[in-house]
């Protein structure tokens, strides 16, 4: 009776998904397990991949290219993923994308045993191109195309489901409810990786982590395929090509445009340095952990730091979402943007001290607390049956602009150059300090733009 009353009133209990999970209601069980397990698999692997690339013989420029390829995939996948799920239904899309993702983890695990290749020399007039060797790290790039598949499906579908089932004034709490299971995966994944890497050195330990991730993904794939009830899936219109994208872009609510500009600046800044967080901890600062009777390598300690970050995110998500109902969405989203912008310069300037890093990653966790409000601000103005398409269009634009950010960050982080600053008796030298400081400058520009021009969603105004 209480649940029915809550549904009729449009209210969302952020812990209702947990109660349903333990009651083993089939749909809740399937979706919760899939979201938690795939998030766990992603977080125990993807945050370590830049360090993996280093161990396979590449450097900062290749890590930057890896990050930009990830940005490209994030830009390209969500729109057709959302359109496909609208067209064929959730069950078919879920299963197909899950299988592809599982194969991707296996490709990553096999990368050290797979051959590289030599690029043949090609003479173009006075230029001789090619003639260099590509190492086994190239298979990390191949696996990236595969591992991102399930994640691309979940984006538009989750937004649309919440949009259709929650009262507009409660969207932030609705997204908080769906996010909690995913963030639990974000917490457990790095913790599991840290446990494995505390026992094995990174070259061997990360192979085991990847195989564990593939196993988790395979179990989730089978469970969601056989247990998911597709009887209530809705089938939408088919994708009509570029005309559909143009039409969706033109139809984007005006209230989203300032948010999109600011969000793009913030994400571009974050994209410049995100893939280097693990490298900064393990190589630039080289900080491990000693205390409470344990001694952790920098690689294992990084997993602990990610777990601390997610613990803060989970603990603050519901209170901050409730705060958004009192203050409006804009202040909460702005707080998350500010954390995004300032974290890079704080990390690169930090002393190599373990408790300082624990505090910094706890601070970083606050950026996730604003995500439910951010998602509500994106999908809130959409028409009732257009949440998936509006979300896909928004992320298509944002992620397309962000594509080159990691490559630029790689050139700044791993480059070997110095240039004079016009009009000043100073020079800019490539390196971690420059890339992380510039990221903060770009991020703060996004924060300022959002503060000046960001619009509130009417239901929260």
Domain ranges of the chain: 28-120+132-228+252-460
Beta partners for 295?
A: 290
pLDDT digits (tens, 9 = 90+) for 12-35: 454 554 444 443 344 445 666 677
- Looking at residue 236, its pLDDT comes to 47
pLDDT digits (tens, 9 = 90+) for 353-402: 999 999 999 999 998 877 878 877 876 655 444 445 667 678 778 888 99
Report which of 33, 151, 156 is spatially closest to residue 101, judged by C-alpha positions. Answer: 151
By mean pLDDT, which of 53-62, 95-104, 158-167 is the weakest?
158-167
Report which of 114, 113, 117 is spatially closest to residue 134, judged by C-alpha positions. Answer: 117
- Top pLDDT among 264 and 251 is at 264
pLDDT digits (tens, 9 = 90+) for 51-80: 999 999 898 999 999 999 998 887 777 667
- Looking at residue 205, its pLDDT comes to 96
Is the pLDDT reported for residue 144 higher than 90? Answer: yes
- Looking at residue 8, its pLDDT comes to 45
The listed range with the strongest mean pLDDT (81-90, 100-109, 378-387, 423-432) is 100-109
Tell me, which fold does domain 28-120+132-228+252-460 have in CATH? Growth Hormone; Chain: A; (1.20.1250)
- Looking at residue 355, its pLDDT comes to 97
Largest CA distance in the chain: 80
Residue 228, phi then psi, degrees to nearest 5: -70, 130
- Looking at residue 215, its pLDDT comes to 96
| Residues 125, 129: Cα–Cα separation, whole Å | 10
Is the pLDDT reported for residue 143 higher than 80? Answer: yes
Arithmetic mean of pLDDT over the chain: 80
- Looking at residue 25, its pLDDT comes to 41
């Amino acid at each position: 009776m209480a649940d029915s009353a809550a549904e009729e009133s449009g209210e969302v209990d952020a812990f209702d998904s947990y109660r349903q999970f333990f009651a083993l209601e089939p749909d809740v069980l399937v979706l919760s397990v899939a979201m938690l397990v795939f998030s766990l698999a992603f977080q125990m692997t993807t945050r370590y991949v830049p360090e993996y690339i280093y161990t396979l013989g590449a450097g900062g420029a290749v890590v930057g290219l890896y990050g930009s390829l990830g940005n490209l995939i994030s830009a390209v996948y969500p729109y057709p993923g959302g359109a496909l799920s609208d067209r064929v239904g959730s069950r078919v899309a879920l299963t197909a994308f899950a299988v592809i993702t599982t194969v991707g983890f296996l490709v990553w695990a096999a990368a050290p045993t797979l051959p590289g290749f030599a690029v043949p020399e090609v003479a173009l007039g006075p230029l001789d191109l090619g003639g260099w060797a590509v190492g086994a790290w190239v298979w990390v790039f191949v696996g990236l195309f595969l591992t991102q598949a399930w994640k691309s499906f979940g984006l538009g579908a989750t937004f649309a489901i919440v949009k259709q089932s929650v009262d507009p004034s409660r969207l932030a709490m609705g997204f908080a409810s769906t996010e909690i299971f995913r963030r639990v995966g974000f917490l457990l994944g790095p913790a599991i990786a840290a446990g494995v890497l505390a026992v094995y050195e990174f070259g061997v330990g990360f192979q085991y982590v990847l195989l564990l991730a593939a196993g988790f993904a395979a179990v989730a794939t089978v469970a969601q395929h056989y247990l998911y009830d597709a009887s209530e899936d809705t089938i939408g219109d088919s994708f009509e090509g570029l005309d559909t994208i143009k039409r969706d872009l033109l139809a984007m609510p005006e209230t989203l445009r300032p948010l999109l500009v600011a969000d793009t600046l913030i994400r571009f800044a974050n994209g410049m340095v995100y893939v280097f967080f693990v490298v900064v901890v393990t190589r630039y600062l080289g900080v491990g952990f000693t205390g409470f009777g344990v001694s952790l390598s920098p690689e294992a300690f990084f997993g602990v730091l990610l777990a601390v970050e997610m613990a803060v995110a989970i603990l603050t998500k519901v209170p901050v979402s409730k705060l958004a109902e009192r203050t409006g969405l804009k202040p909460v989203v702005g707080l998350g943007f500010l954390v995004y912008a300032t974290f890079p310069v704080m990390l690169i300037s930090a002393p190599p001290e373990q408790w300082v890093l624990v505090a910094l990653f706890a601070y970083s966790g606050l950026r996730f607390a604003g995500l439910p409000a951010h998602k509500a601000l994106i999908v809130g103005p959409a028409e009732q049956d257009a949440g998936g398409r509006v979300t896909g269009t928004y992320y298509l634009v944002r992620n397309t602009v962000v594509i080159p950010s990691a490559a630029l960050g790689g050139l700044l982080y791993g480059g070997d150059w110095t240039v004079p600053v016009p009009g000043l008796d100073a020079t800019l030298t490539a390196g971690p300090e420059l890339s992380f400081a510039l990221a903060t400058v770009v991020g703060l520009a996004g924060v300022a733009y959002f503060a000046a021009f960001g619009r509130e969603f009417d239901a929260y105004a």
